[in-house]
């Protein structure tokens, strides 16, 4: 599970295709996404994409990996002092109130709903989730070790509870489109940290 | 929001169509659901269904209402003594560990991911969510009034936090298929009730 992210293994073309896929997905949504739309964003032919990614499914699985890499790079950039501040930074990124994320979160929820029908997509979604839980678990475990979180906290369980919050908030935001959902979930996560994790 | 459920307003034929739609949806999933598959489950022609429901979308919106009615009837049947036991019963039903619910939860997640593209579906999903939050809020407010929950608890916010848990657990269960996800979320909800709601 300490499987590292594969940032840097992409060629320049693959990076550009990922950015094009990202933009096309946000614009068209998962169900209406076509190779043609991605090629238009990429500014080249669909054949140029097929050279790197055989099917639309391959592209979307690769995109999920790309999004995880971006997330990991983003949180590595955040300079923080202790486990509490690092947990805060992770939660800020996982439950961001940026309403311009709505299109992306819609597309991700479509992919999640697709997971039971698509093994490659499910495997990548499960991998992403495991990696996010690994990041949360490590921060919580460091906090327990340093005495800022209570000694009886189970880091794995705490990470899973926090991801349940994150996923609930995202699902609810997709359906309602109401950014208050994210703000309130972020507050509830803080409340959970204060009540269930913080050392007295 | 105290909008009552419309149980009993359905004709016998409509009840039978709802049960057939439910079975067909669990078997085929949302994307592959056809009027023909529903008609097969119903044991009549698609015309017999169209007489009551014009489109597949009408049927699915009606099904969401039917599922809410079933939920409300089920929780009304549960004889409980105080707010804590009633909250427990609601959470038991909302985060049930019945793995045979997986097909239905997959279909519901597909409908949720569809919400941004389908106004009628979004409205019904938002209605269902509002009704569930209303049930939770009422129980929490009763508990605050009776002194079993702390006086400073905000019943609306507590209901929203609990629904975020429920929705997170369901989304995660759809993707992973792992029933532990539901069990752990149920335990985390109990922990939230003990830490954030219970009067000292």
Residue with tokens 């990614």: A53
**Residue B8 binned pLDDT confidence (cut-offs 50, 70, 90):** low
Per-residue DSSP letter, B115: G
Structure tokens that stand for B162 in this block: 């609990």
Beta bridge partners of A149: A198
Q: How high is the pLDDT of residue B5?
A: 46
Structure tokens that stand for A110 in this block: 């479509």
By Cβ distance, the residue of A116, A129, A164 closest to B188 is A164
pLDDT at B76 over 70: yes
Give every CB contact of residue B78 below 8 A, 6+ residues apart in sequence.
Answer: B86, B89, B93
pLDDT at B3 over 70: no
Which of B20-23's residues contact partners 24+ apart within 8 Å by CB, and which partners?
B21/B59, B21/B60, B21/B62, B21/B63, B22/B63, B22/B66, B22/B67, B22/B104
pLDDT at B32 over 70: yes
Q: How high is the pLDDT of residue A4?
A: 43
Distance of CA B23 to the CA centre of its chain: 16
Closest residue by Cα to residue A61 from A111, A106, A23, A109: A111
Q: How high is the pLDDT of residue B97?
A: 73
Q: How high is the pLDDT of residue B96?
A: 81
Q: What is the mean pLDDT of residues B161-182?
A: 95
The answer to whether the Cβ–Cβ distance between B161 and A188 falls below 8 Å is: yes
Chain A contact present for B183, CB below 8 A: no
Q: How high is the pLDDT of residue A178?
A: 92
On chain A, the residues whose CB falls within 8 A of the CB of B196 are 191, 195
**Residue B101 binned pLDDT confidence (cut-offs 50, 70, 90):** confident
The CA radius of gyration of chain A, in Å to the nearest whole number, is: 18
The answer to whether the Cβ–Cβ distance between A175 and B29 falls below 8 Å is: no
Q: How high is the pLDDT of residue B100?
A: 74
The answer to whether the Cβ–Cβ distance between A164 and B163 falls below 8 Å is: no
Q: What is the dihedral sign for C-alpha B54, B56, B58, B60?
A: positive
Q: Is the pTM of this model over 0.90?
A: yes
Closest residue by Cα to residue A64 from B32, B184, B175: B175
Structure tokens that stand for A165 in this block: 């919050």
Q: How high is the pLDDT of residue B4?
A: 43
How far is A84 from B75, CA to CA, in rounded Å? 40
Structure tokens that stand for B83 in this block: 């707010």
The answer to whether the Cβ–Cβ distance between A164 and B175 falls below 8 Å is: no
Contact, B113 vs A112, CB < 8 A?
Answer: yes
Minimal C-alpha gap between A195 and chain B (Å): 6
Mean of all residue pLDDT scores within chain A: 91
Provide the chain B residues 88-117 that lie in CB contact (below 8 A) with chain A: 102, 106, 109-110, 112-113, 115-117
**Residue B77 binned pLDDT confidence (cut-offs 50, 70, 90):** confident
Provide the chain A residues 6-65 that lie in CB contact (below 8 A) with chain B: 29-31
Q: How high is the pLDDT of residue B1?
A: 41
Closest residue by Cα to residue A58 from A151, A12, A121, A5: A121
The answer to whether the Cβ–Cβ distance between B169 and A164 falls below 8 Å is: yes
pLDDT at B199 over 90: no
Q: How high is the pLDDT of residue B115?
A: 95
ipTM of predicted assembly, 2 dp: 0.91
pLDDT at B152 over 60: yes
SS3 A33: coil
* Position with higher pLDDT, A40 vs B99: A40
- Rounded mean pLDDT for each run of 10 residues along chain A, 200 residues in total: 53 94 93 94 95 93 95 81 91 83 93 95 97 96 95 96 96 94 93 89
């Amino acid at each position: 599970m300490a499987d590292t992210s594969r940032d840097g293994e992409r060629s320049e073309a693959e990076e550009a295709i990922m950015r094009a896929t990202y933009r096309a997905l946000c614009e068209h949504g998962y169900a209406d996404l076509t190779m043609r739309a991605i090629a238009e964003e990429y500014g080249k032919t669909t054949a140029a994409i097929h050279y790197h990614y055989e099917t639309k499914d391959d592209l979307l699985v690769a995109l999920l990996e790309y999004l995880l890499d971006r997330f990991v790079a983003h949180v590595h950039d955040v300079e923080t002092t202790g486990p509490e501040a690092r947990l805060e930074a992770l939660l800020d990124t996982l439950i961001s109130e940026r309403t311009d994320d709505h299109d992306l979160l819609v597309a991700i929820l479509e992919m999640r709903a697709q997971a039971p029908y698509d093994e490659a997509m499910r495997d990548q979604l499960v991998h992403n989730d495991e990696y996010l839980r690994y990041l949360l678990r490590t921060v919580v475990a460091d906090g327990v070790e340093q005495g800022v979180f209570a000694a009886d906290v189970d880091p794995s369980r705490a990470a899973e509870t926090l991801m349940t919050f994150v996923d609930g908030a995202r699902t609810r935001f997709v359906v309602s489109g109401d950014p208050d959902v994210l703000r309130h979930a972020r507050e509830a996560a803080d409340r959970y940290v204060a009540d269930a994790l913080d050392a007295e």
